[in-house]
């Protein structure tokens, strides 16, 4: 049986290796030479696929984003029919991942946003776009729950989605500073309790 690495194309191997290294060390600290050495690809081979390191960074970001979308699509909460339970299932899935020691507690989009926003405007724009797409994804889940359970609740679901992203990204930073991944799960649980309170309030308004 072939290993996962053996089934990847040369470009995918470069992207996978670059993604893993940049999640650990950041964009600036990772060199093209290091990526080539770990993949067994020559520099000439590297520049056949990528015009520059910035071009690589954009491609890695897209590669990472697609992996995260697939990860979310594979989460069990997607099979839940009830929209409010589905929303809670989404949050619980992220909390569960925060507990899993096998999962890297880092986000390439957040890391690039912090590290490169002032020096690589093209990458910053791409980060903003991916955060926006994630917010749209989460907004849809909020909208479905709100429509069924709290239609009279006055709340900006897009802003609420961005609030989750801010909490999650901030928790990742805190976890690195504290060297304690429990802070991620704790903050997701706090957000879940906040959402529960919102929907309880919305249900009371609807019942009147």
Chain segment 19-73, per-residue pLDDT in tens: 999 999 999 999 999 999 999 999 999 999 999 999 999 999 999 999 999 999 9
Task: Quote the mean pLDDT of the chain.
Answer: 93
Distances in Å between the alpha carbon of 200 and those of 127, 176, 204? Answer: 34, 34, 6
CA 187, 19, 191 angle in degrees (round to 5)?
10
- Of the pLDDT bands very low, low, confident and very high (cuts 50, 70, 90), residue 4 is very low
Assess contact for 175 and 183: CB atoms under 8 A. Answer: yes
Q: What is the pLDDT of residue 2?
A: 40
CA 172, 88, 113 angle in degrees (round to 5)?
25
**Who wins on pLDDT, 153 or 55?**
55
């Amino acid at each position: 049986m072939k290993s996962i690495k053996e089934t990847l194309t040369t470009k995918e191997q470069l992207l996978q290796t670059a993604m893993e290294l940049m999640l650990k060390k950041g964009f600036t600290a990772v060199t093209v030479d290091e990526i080539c050495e770990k993949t067994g690809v020559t520099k000439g081979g590297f520049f056949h696929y990528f015009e520059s390191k910035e071009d690589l960074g954009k491609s890695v970001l897209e590669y990472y984003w697609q992996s995260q979308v697939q990860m979310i699509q594979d989460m069990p909460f997607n099979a839940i029919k009830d929209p409010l339970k589905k929303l809670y299932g989404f949050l619980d899935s992220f909390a569960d991942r925060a507990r899993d020691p096998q999962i890297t507690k880092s986000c390439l989009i957040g890391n690039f946003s912090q590290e490169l926003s002032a020096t690589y405007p093209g990458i910053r724009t791409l980060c903003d776009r991916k955060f926006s797409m994630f917010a749209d994804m989460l907004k849809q889940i909020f909208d479905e729950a709100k429509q069924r359970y709290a239609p009279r609740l006055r709340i900006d679901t897009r802003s609420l989605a961005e609030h989750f992203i801010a909490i999650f990204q901030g928790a990742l930073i805190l976890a690195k500073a504290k060297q304690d991944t429990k802070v991620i799960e704790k903050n997701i649980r706090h957000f879940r309790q906040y959402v529960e309170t919102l929907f309880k309030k919305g249900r009371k308004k609807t019942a009147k």
